[in-house]
């Protein structure tokens, strides 16, 4: 997601393949899962993208962050499921299948994006 716009969809286990399948709905954007508009990606490519959406395992307060998320160990996928891959410095995030969340539900800096709600 980019704010409330769907910019890509990812099927982690498409029929007949063990490779994730990505469809990018926008082009020329530097935060896509893949440089290709549509196709299979490797699990390594997916891991590299996930790494970009979570705090590093070596972060000084990583244990405190994990505890705040209710996690006992560092696992990128578990962190992303809890945080939706939200970062403080951009508007990219993940909405999982079956969810109806909006950007305002997950963003970290509501005062910047939704100041009318801060009154």
Counting beta carbons within 10 angstroms of the beta carbon of residue 58, is it exposed (0 to 12), middle (13 to 18) or buried (19 or more)? exposed
Confidence of residue 118 (pLDDT cuts 50, 70, 90): low
Say which residues have a Cβ less than 8 Å from residue 31's Cβ, sequence separation at least 6. 52, 90, 92
Domain boundaries defined on the chain: 8-117
Q: In the chain, which ranges are continuous DSSP H helix?
A: 43-52, 62-68, 76-83, 103-106, 110-113
Identify which of 34-38, 50-54, 71-75 has the greatest average pLDDT: 71-75
Q: Is the pLDDT of residue 78 over 70?
A: yes
What's the residue count for the chain? 119
Q: In whole angstroms, how far apart are CA 37 and each of 27, 95, 112?
A: 7, 19, 31
Give percent of the chain above pLDDT 90: 64
Count CB-CB contacts under 10 A for residue 48.
12
Q: What is the pTM of this model?
A: 0.86
């Amino acid at each position: 997601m980019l704010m409330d716009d769907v910019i890509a969809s990812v099927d982690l286990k498409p029929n007949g393949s063990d490779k994730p399948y990505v469809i990018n709905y926008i082009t020329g954007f530097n935060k896509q899962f893949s440089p290709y508009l549509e196709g299979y990606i490797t699990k390594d490519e997916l891991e590299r993208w996930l790494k970009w959406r979570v705090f590093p395992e070596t972060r000084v307060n990583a244990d405190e962050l994990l505890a705040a998320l209710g996690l006992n160990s560092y696992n990128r996928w578990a962190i992303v499921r809890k945080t939706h891959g939200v970062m403080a410095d951009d508007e990219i995030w993940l909405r999982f299948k079956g969810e109806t969340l909006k950007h305002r539900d997950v963003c970290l800096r509501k005062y910047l994006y939704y100041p009318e709600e801060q009154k």
